[in-house]
Structure 1
Amino acid sequence: MEWSVKVTKLARITLDVRLFNKRKELPDPSDIEKIAAYLVREIKNLYLTPNNSNEIVFREAVVLAEARLLLYNRRRPGELECLSIEAYKNRSMSVDEANMALRSNLTDFEKMLLKTQDLVEIRGKTGRGVPVLIPNETNKVLEYLSDPVARQRASIRPENDYMFPNTGRTVVRAGESLDQVKFRSEVELRFPERIYANNLRKHTATIAQALNLNDTEMKYICNHLGHTQKVHDLVFRQTSGMIERLDIAKLMLIQEFNVVGKYQNKKLSEIQFDELGTLERKIQDQDQEQQDTENAADQGKNVDDAERVRWSPAEEEEIKKYFSRYFEGHFQKKCPSREHCLNALKKSKENGGTIFKRKWETLKKKVSNMLVKIQV
């Protein structure tokens, strides 16, 4: 409300227009795969025991676990930072009968997901509860980070009950944890600068377009990301160039080729233009036929224009007469102006000369060539 009141409409429109064709550099999918694999591998390789804990080991565990959860859940950094030990201990590790009744026939893959992931709910933006999925490999790290002995040996204050604490009273920033990981030499990302929390959330919202999700499934995604459908569409979801070039282009072609009736009651993903090649060939044949006609006409015209008439000595003398100031060096230009050429043709006609039969462009070129020869 305050933004629309204090900033003029023209200024807001200008800001919006600047974003239209701005290059949207979303994370490279291969980079996400690399950093996810690196985090899982490093977490599994951590040797964590409370009695052998120290500040260096504890900080590395915080960085890896925080970056892993941020990348996996696409959470806002501030939300994840607020994860407390109490919230983690109260996490949901099983599914009640009411929820199981919603999915009576689970696939093996879905059963595996239920067994290998825990769920903890934390406070999100505007006070709403948002979920955090905890992959199986991360549990051992979180158990270590919540252990009182390990925290004491790592110089963590007893009153600091955050899951990802620093040695003071606050937390290790989730965005900084992700930054520390993505710039490590072992990860070897192509575009590490694109890997940050807000961009990861935009990436999730954008690729959801390609999955053909229904309204209910889209609502699930919005609830997980912690924003409304409107915010999802206006802020986070980027226009996918692939979707524009494929699905939207199909809709445009259906109209142009007047085949709407043939594809009634079909999804865009189901439409394949079998006759598209034939239609394109027809258009190309028509274009080629028109081009051949134009070329033939141009060739006929060029043949007529190609009948050149040599300049006679009398015409050259007449040129020197009417362009004497050029030949005497009063003008430094090597080419006469259009006005001078037209005046010379007019005088030639009035005085019964012969160069008035020439076009002024031809006269201009002749004078220029004569001037060049003289200077050489």
Structure 2
Amino acid sequence: MKLGEHFYNKHGADKSKYEYIRQKMPEMGRLVLQARTLGKLKTIEDFFLPANFNHVVKAVKMTCGWNEDTSSFKIPSLSLKLGHSLTKITDIAAFDARMSENKKALENVLTFRQLKEKKWDEWVSAHALRNLRESKWNKPLLIPYCEDVVRLHNHLDARRPEYQSNLETAPNKKNWLNLAKLTLCEVIVFNRRREGEVSKMSLNDFLLRNTFVSNPDLDLALTDVEKKLCKFFERVEIRGKRDRKVPVLLSPDVVSSIQMLVNNRRKCGVPDENLFLFGRPEAESHLRGSDAIRGMAFECGAKNPQTLTSTRLRKQIATMSQVLNLRDNEEDCLAGFMGHNIRVHRQYYRLPEGTLQVAKVAKVLMACGRGKLSQFKGMTLDEINVDPNEEVPEDSSLSGSEDETTVKEAMSAPSSSSSGKSSYTFCIKNI
């Protein structure tokens, strides 16, 4: 209960964090119930007795489905979460012991903390992290097809007038939810925003959006098309990951839909206490963006509706941007709009590693295997062209004159050239 009080004191001002607090309570409840079956741990205070540390580790492993034969967890993420919660509870217990001047209890808590710092990683965390890493091996990276994205956009454009008309003629809970889910999906898909960020957009974020007229001096640096786009879209700033400020662009059609939702909130049962723009009727929570996208993805008839998620749509725009020849400042601008720093953008949002290895590195390996690497001296990976269906002659060794010519060319190449070194090494080995 004190753990829940701690989280509420820290996050209680943000209603969007209530679900996070609800999740933490049953996690620890499952651990306490499992610990009681061991006989030694009846209450949380028993967890902090140094002699019971092994029982605490055993209880965590049992709760998370530990398999002794494979040294793996069935739910590895839960073991990490329980470890963090135990650390929080340890801090709370130490604070209470100091406040009550209970030296014996404080000594037990501090000893438990030392034991956890020294052995928790070895007995729990290391195995859980290994399980999480291995679960991602050989997992295909699914990126939405452009045709599915176009089909989804067309479906949203076609349904929007219908849902607006229904809400205007019959303002009820069902029609309000239909238009709210469609608009929420449209904002997420167009802006490639994280679904949680848009779902938690507050009513004030929209009402207090920036509608200023652009500076004439700045317009001198824009093209005619860019000037028109600045007048076409409206920009809303919302809270992103790690409290970063991230923008959301709204087209006139989306703005009209949101205005209609705002005007009919009370008629459709959305309470005034609900601070969310996409709030649920008769509740103080918000609609889930993931549910909205999933429903629209299946409705539009996409070939692979499971790939149409906010995360994969974000990866698609960041990955496909490599096709463009973006300058550093343009890449920074795109990364800033996506809501992550440039290091994350370059490290995690590139072409899939498997694609690079098959498409790029395989050409070098094939050229080496066929004795043709020297033919591509001075070329980049993009310039090398090797046909995988080309037949390789049985006797692939070079003739004497060709050997001499190749070696001379390799020896005459600058020593700083990596391609020269590779050709020279290959030729010597071949001879």
- The verdict on a shared fold, with TM-score over 0.5 as the criterion, is yes
Question: Which residue is 2:330 aligned to?
Answer: 217
Q: How many residues align?
A: 275
2:201 is aligned with what amino acid? L
Alignment-derived partner of residue 100 in structure 1: 218
Change over 3 Å in CA distance of 1:99–1:234 after alignment to 2: farther
Q: Which residue of 2 aligns with 1:131?
A: 247
State how 1:234-249 maps to structure 2 within 5 Å.
234-237=347-350, 239=352, 243-246=356-359
Report the counterpart of residue 173 of structure 2 in structure 1: 55
Structure with more relative contact order (C-alpha pairs < 8 Å, separation 6 or more):
1
Q: CA deviation at 1:104?
A: 2.1
Please state how far the C-alpha of 1:253 moved relative to its aligned partner.
8.0
2:233 aligned to 97, 117, 125, which one? 117
3-state DSSP class of the match of 2:238? strand
CA distance in 1, matches of 2:354, 2:306: 21
Paired residue secondary structure (1:131): strand
Corresponding residue number in structure 2 for 1:180: 295
State the SS of the aligned residue for 2:258. Answer: helix
User: After superposition, what is the alpha-carbon deviation per residue over 1:45-74, rounded to whole angstroms, capped at 9, x for unaligned?
Assistant: 431665742212111110000000111112
Distance 1:96 1:247, change over 3 A: farther
Q: Deviation of residue 259 (structure 1)?
A: 5.5
Whether contact under 8 Å (1:48, 1:144) holds in the other structure is no
| Corresponding position of 1:28 | 145
| Pair 1:189-2:189 in alignment | no
Q: CA deviation at 1:222?
A: 1.9
- Contact kept? 2:167, 2:175, Cα under 8 Å: no
Query: Residues 130 and 231 from structure 1, CA distance in 2 versus in 1: closer, same or farther, beyond 3 angstroms?
Result: same
Counterparts of 1:146-161 in structure 2 under 5 Å?
146-147=262-263, 150-161=264-275
Distance in 1 (CA, whole Å) between partners of 2:314 and 2:245 is: 18
- Specify whether residues 290 and 80 from structure 1 end up closer, same or farther in structure 2 by C-alpha distance, changes over 3 A only: closer
Unmatched runs of 5 consecutive residues or more in structure 1: 292-376
CA distance in 1, matches of 2:366, 2:227: 44
Contact 2:184 2:292 in 1 (8 A): yes
**Within 5 Å, which residues of 2 pair with 1:1-376?**
6=121, 12=129, 15-16=132-133, 18-45=135-162, 46-47=164-165, 52-93=170-211, 96-97=214-215, 100-101=218-219, 104-108=221-225, 110-147=226-263, 150-167=264-281, 168-184=283-299, 187-237=300-350, 239=352, 243-246=356-359, 257-258=373-374, 263=379, 271=383, 284=392, 287-288=393-394
How far apart are 1:163 and its partner, in Å?
1.2
Residues 233 and 250, structure 2, Cα contact 8 Å, conserved in 1: yes
| Pair 1:268–1:142, CA change in 2 (3 A) | farther
Preserved CA contact (<8 Å) 2:167 2:176: no
2:376–2:384 CA contact under 8 A, matched in 1 = no
Q: How far apart are 1:200 and its partner, in Å?
A: 1.8
1:371: which partner in 2?
none
In structure 2, what is the Cα distance between the partners aligned to 1:228 and 1:131?
A: 15
Instruction: Give structure 2 stretches of 5+ with no counterpart.
Output: 1-79, 85-116, 398-431
Q: In angstroms, what is the RMSD of aligned CA positions?
A: 3.6
Identity %: 23
For the residues of structure 2 that align with 1:59 and 1:49, how far apart are their CA atoms? Answer: 9
Tell whether the 8 Å contact from 1:44 to 1:137 is kept in structure 2 after alignment. Answer: no
Alpha-carbon distance in structure 1 between the residues aligned to 2:268 and 2:323: 46
Distance in 1 (CA, whole Å) between partners of 2:365 and 2:223 is 40
Change in Cα spacing, 1:180 to 1:15, as seen in structure 2 (3 Å) is closer
Q: AA paired with 2:198?
A: L
